[in-house]
Amino acid sequence: MKRFYILAAATLLLYSLAGAQTIESRDSIGNYKIGPGDVLDVTVSKNDVLSKTGLRVSNLGTVQLAMMDTDMQAACLTERQLADRIKEEYKKYMVDPFVNVAVREFNSSPVSVIGSVNAPGRFQLQRTIKLAELLTFVNGTSANAGPTVEILRDSRRPRCEGSELVIPENGEDVLMSVKIDEVFTGADSANPVIVPGDIIRVSDNSQLVAYIQGNVAASMAIPLNDPVSLTQAIAMAGGPTSGAQLDKVRIRRQIEGSVNREEMIADVKDIIQGKQDDILLQPNDIVDVPGPSGAKKFFGDIFRALVPAITQAPVRVIPIP
């Protein structure tokens, strides 16, 4: 842990000496890809009718522009790329128009950092960033930080593939856990690239938890300060709901030294009848109790329930060095 603080402090010092730039530096964000929710200013030289300010990108990644029959794709394009596309369209009305696009508000790439850090907060990304660097922006971990960092990722969130916006029809939340002491010194898997929409939680040394979801009375985080078995966890969650398939309960457990998880199927009915031993839960286990169709609730509701009133805090922008 001491080594983490030293490395984090050194990183912050380098940023200070370099004089980090902010969003006012238009040249520095040339590679930023526009996304849903961003607010744009479109300036067409010497034409107030075609120029637009405060133009919000829709959830589908499009914008409405003057004198265009259809909405134009803006998501997953840089400012320059979108300006070039608009220029081509406006050549119908002007001779070689000059078009400039500038992002006024960055809203499409949020991440949240919560838990045992010194300055939890919400951020808007303007560039690619890894976990280690993000932790420096929250002034490192606090004194009561636990051994792991958890990253919740929503695979249903729209994402860019090249210059196209892909909106997944289905998917689920993915929980990754990495060890704090490996973030700066371990393999690349211990320092993953942060994706817009990620929620990063540094564990509390005094509270290790497992998670239970699905067809139980209340999806929740289960404290593991004392040993907790699978059947105890189900009871703590209020018991199974009608139609719960207790013979097909899934436990997803992280593989040692990896961000991936292995899955085991437990027959709670056999456990209750004494036909097999109960299973002790481990920190960060995810227990899913399926219903009649095998469907389950999304895990993200549990994790987000741990997010404090940070949603009311101002959003900070990750500066561009």
How far out from the chain centre does Cα 54 lie? 26
Asked whether residue 168 falls in the same domain as residue 312, the answer is yes
Three-class SS state of 121? strand
Asked whether residue 8 falls in the same domain as residue 51, the answer is no
pLDDT at 29: 41
Which DSSP string corresponds to 51-92?
-EEEEEPPTTSEE--TT-SS-EE-TT--HHHHHHHHHHHHTT
Is residue 181 included in any domain, yes or no? yes
Q: CA 22, CA 319: separation in Å to the nearest integer? A: 5
**Domain housing 158:** 1-21+107-206+297-321
In this structure, what are the phi and psi dihedrals at residue 140, rounded to the nearest 5 degrees?
75, 180
Is residue 63 included in any domain, yes or no? yes
Asked whether residue 17 falls in the same domain as residue 151, the answer is yes
**Which DSSP state fits 314?**
P
Asked whether residue 257 falls in the same domain as residue 310, the answer is no
**CATH code, domain carrying 223:** 3.10.560.10
Chain segment 16-51, per-residue pLDDT in tens: 333 332 223 233 344 789 999 999 999 999 899 999
Is residue 40 included in any domain, yes or no? yes
Asked whether residue 223 falls in the same domain as residue 278, the answer is yes
pTM of the entire predicted model: 0.70
- Please enumerate in sequence order all residues whose Cβ is within 8 A of that of 112, keeping only pairs 6 or more positions apart, or say none: 120, 121, 122, 123, 198, 199, 200, 307, 310
- Please enumerate in sequence order all residues whose Cβ is within 8 A of that of 232, keeping only pairs 6 or more positions apart, or say none: 278
For the chain, the domain total comes to: 3
Q: Which residues of the chain have pLDDT under 70?
A: 1-30, 186, 257, 259, 293-314, 319-321
Strand pairing partners for 42?
52, 101
The two three-digit tokens of residue 304, written as one number: 């987000």
Asked whether residue 174 falls in the same domain as residue 78, the answer is no
Chain segment 203-214, per-residue pLDDT in tens: 888 778 898 988
Asked whether residue 10 falls in the same domain as residue 42, the answer is no
The two three-digit tokens of residue 43, written as one number: 């300036």
The closest of 138, 159, 160 to 149, measured between CA atoms, is 138
Residue with tokens 């001491």: 2
- Please enumerate in sequence order all residues whose Cβ is within 8 A of that of 38, keeping only pairs 6 or more positions apart, or say none: 56, 57, 74, 103, 105, 106, 107, 108
Is residue 28 included in any domain, yes or no? no
Asked whether residue 197 falls in the same domain as residue 219, the answer is no
Asked whether residue 59 falls in the same domain as residue 191, the answer is no
Q: CA 126, CA 34: separation in Å to the nearest integer? A: 10
Strand pairing partners for 153?
174
Which DSSP string corresponds to 181-200?
HHHTTS-GGGSPBP-TT-EE
Asked whether residue 5 falls in the same domain as residue 135, the answer is yes
Strand pairing partners for 80?
none
**CATH code, domain carrying 88:** 3.30.1950.10
